[in-house]
Structures are given as C-alpha cells and as structure tokens.
Amino acid sequence: MNTHNTQKKQKTEQLTDAFRIFNELSQNLSVSYQGLEEQVAKLHGELAFAHSERLKTLEEKEKLASRLEKILAALPAGVIVLDVDGKVVDCNAVATDFLGEPLVGLDWLDVVARSLIPVFGNPHERQLSNGKRVNMTVSRDLVCSDSADTGQIILLSDVSEMRNLQDMLNQQKQLSAMGEMVASMAHQVRTPLATAILYASQMSNPALDEEKRQRFSQKILERLQYLERQVNDMLIFAKDGRLAMETFSLAELLSHLREAVKEYTGSGRIDLQIINDVQNDAMLGNENALRGALLNLLNNAVDALGQVGCVQISVTQLDACNLRVVVKDDGPGIAKELCQRVFEPFFTTKSYGTGLGLAVVDSVVKAHGGHVSVESVLGQGTVFTLVLPCINQAYSLLPGGFSGKNHHQMEMKHETV
C-alpha cells in the first residue's frame, strides 16, 4: 500500500514538473513571438521608409531627366550622341534642323559627308547646306553603359552671326587701312611716276646718245617695276586673304623669282642662291600671290644689302603636306624690338615705301593656312621662315577621321576667306 502511494506521488510530481516546464516554454515562446512581431513591425516600417525614399529618388530623377531634356531641347546648339562604333544614337531638335533627317542610326561620317562642308583654314568649323557656319566640338570618353565601352558627344554651335560681325569688323578695319594706304600711296606713286615721265620725255631727244638712252630706259623700267609692286601689294592687301587656289609648279615659281631679282638688282653684285630640296613639283595655292610675297622678301633683302651681298632661298619639305621656305640674307639685320612689328600694315623704317610689303607676306601666308616668322641679329643678317601647306599630292588625316584628300577637294571649289 505504501509502495503504491509512493509511486502515485512520484507520478504526480513528474506531471507537475512537466506542466511547469511546459508553462515556462509556453511563456518563452510567447515572449519570443512578441519580440518577433516587434522586429517584423520594425522591418516593415524600415521597408516602407526605404520604399518611400526610393519613390522620392525616382521622382527626383524623373524631374531631373525632364529638366535636362527641356534644357537640351532649348539649347541653341546641336547635340549628337555617338556610340563606340561612331553611329548616331541620339540627337536634339537643333541637330536635326542643322543636319536634316534621318540621323539616328546613321554612321557619323556619312552624316558629315552629306551635310557638312569643310571650311578652308579652320578644321573646327563646317558650313551647312543653307550657308550657316557651325563650330564642331568633339567630346571623347563618354560612358555609354556600365561596361567599358565609350562613345562621343558632338556639339554643333552656330557661329554665323559671330562670323558676320567679325567680317564686318574686319571690313571696317580694312576700309580704315585702305584710307591710310591711299593717302600713303599718293606720294609713293607720284614720285616714281614723275621720275619715269621725266626719263621718258628725254627718250625722244635726238641728241641723246645710246648709252644714256639705255640708262634712261633702265631707270624707267625700275620705276615701273616699283609701281607694279606697290599696286600688287595694294590689291593683295585689299583682298584680305581671299585668294583663288589652283595647281602650279614650284620649279617655275622659283625660276620666275630668279629672273625678277635679276631685273631688280641690275648691275649690283648680289649673289642669289636658290636651293630646292622638294621632290614633288605640283603645288596647290595661288602662285601669283606667293610669288609677290616672296619677291617682297627678296626685295627687302636686296635693299638691306645695298650693292653687295648674298641672299639665299631654301625650300624643304617638312612633312606630307607642308613646305618650309627660308629667305636668308647677310645684311645689317633688324633690331629685336622692330622684329615684333615688321608684319604690321604701314609700319616701315624706310624713308620710302608704304610699309605693306611684309604685311602682304603675312596675309598671303595666312590665306594658305600657313605661318611666317622672322629672326634677325644686328650685323649678321635676317632670316624669314614660311611654313606653307601647299603640297598637292599629299593628304593628312584630320581630327574626327576625315580625309584630308576630301577636305582639299571640297575646299578648292571655293575661294578662301
């Protein structure tokens, strides 16, 4: 009986312990569930906040995209976006107005060939089919996507009005300079003309012996040649860089220079050396203008030398399309402070002359897309260096992948401005 009671008591205690453990576990589960609910509520709140912020960000980006799109549409410049293969992937309305349709999907070089005409002397400008001038700027390394591929942005800015204003300003300056030149030319023409008339009036005198007749004839020729140079300088300066370009022979140009200098120096002991190291004889430019410019340099050198001295012309090839022409004399030289002004119109240190000779040289060289410089040391002579892109058969690659050959062919159909 006691054993049975003992067993019953033990079972009761075990059940009591089991219920107590169960209650503790239930209580723990309830606390854990409550904590989980709180955590879920917190995460839900954070997710809702993140979602709200994401929506705000997307809304701001949409507003920004809309604003940028409006700005792009309102820009007075044409914007063309190219992919890594050089094809047009996007453009604004101004670009379409400039270049015509279609644009998107076309190769950019095809668009250039169709709608953009090169401008001589300025590789960054193009002329549209309607006559407008645009400045072309290329922005490289445009990231097209998350990959490493890059593209380009082409910006076309209308510079027609600026060019017109610049042309008007240049014209006003030119007219002002022409007035100054006419005033100077009146004296420069009258004096040699009066001298030529005086000598010519004596030619019909029967008492004039043959020696004097020859000397008077030479004097008349010298005065007339001087007048011709003055008139040629005036005409070239008045053209302000507008020269028609054509093919000519370099050898013939140098030959004409040699003969002209012989006539100019007369009996003077001037040693003229012409060195031509250029194998290609076919040039592209304005032969008469170049001849006049080089003759101005030679005449200045001869005037500086007087009756005795040496003048050397050397012509070399710098690269595929550039000539270097060096005119060197061993005369008295030019002061350093004067070297900076020798190309200014109407600036001269001579008691005669209009001061247009070297200004014409600078104008002609710039009209050919080249540049001229001077170096001189007092007592050692003067060196003028001309760099001219005149070689006809050689073509270079322009920025943006355009062929120099096409560039020259299109330019030579028009006069340079």
Q: Write down the pLDDT at residue 66.
A: 72
For the stretch 329-359, pLDDT in tens is 988 888 888 887 888 777 776 666 666 778 8
The tally of CA atoms less than 13 A away on the side-chain side of residue 217 is: 8
Q: Write down the pLDDT at residue 403.
A: 38
Distance CA 122, CA 369 (A): 8
Strand ranges for 192-293 from DSSP E: 246-249, 269-276, 282-285
Distance CA 289, CA 359 (A): 13
Q: Write down the pLDDT at residue 406.
A: 39
Q: What's the chain's length in residues?
A: 417
Strands 308-317 and 269-276: parallel
Q: Write down the pLDDT at residue 409.
A: 38
What is the value of pTM for the model shown? 0.47
Q: Write down the pLDDT at residue 316.
A: 92
Q: Got the DSSP string for 325-390?
A: EEEEE-SS---HHHHTTTTSTT--SSSSS-S-HHHHHHHHHHHTT-EEEEEEETTTEEEEEEEE--
Distance CA 408, CA 404 (A): 6
- CA neighbor of 87 nearest in space, from 65, 106, 112, 111: 106
Q: Write down the pLDDT at residue 38.
A: 85
- CA neighbor of 286 nearest in space, from 218, 340, 217, 239: 239
Residue reference for tokens 């589960």 = 29
For the stretch 133-155, pLDDT in tens is 888 888 766 555 444 456 788 88
Contact 366, 379 (CB under 8 A): no
Q: Which residues of the chain have pLDDT under 70?
A: 1-2, 68-69, 71-74, 120-121, 140-150, 174, 177-178, 180-191, 230, 232-242, 263-268, 349-355, 393-417
Q: Write down the pLDDT at residue 219.
A: 80
Strand order in the sheet with 122-127: 88-91, 78-82, 150-158, 133-143, 122-127, 117-119
The secondary structure of residue 260, as a DSSP letter, is H
Residue 6 CB burial class (10 angstroms; 0-12, 13-18, ≥19): exposed
Distance CA 160, CA 65 (A): 31
Looking at the DSSP bridge assignments, the partners of residue 316 are 324
Contact 330, 309 (CB under 8 A): yes
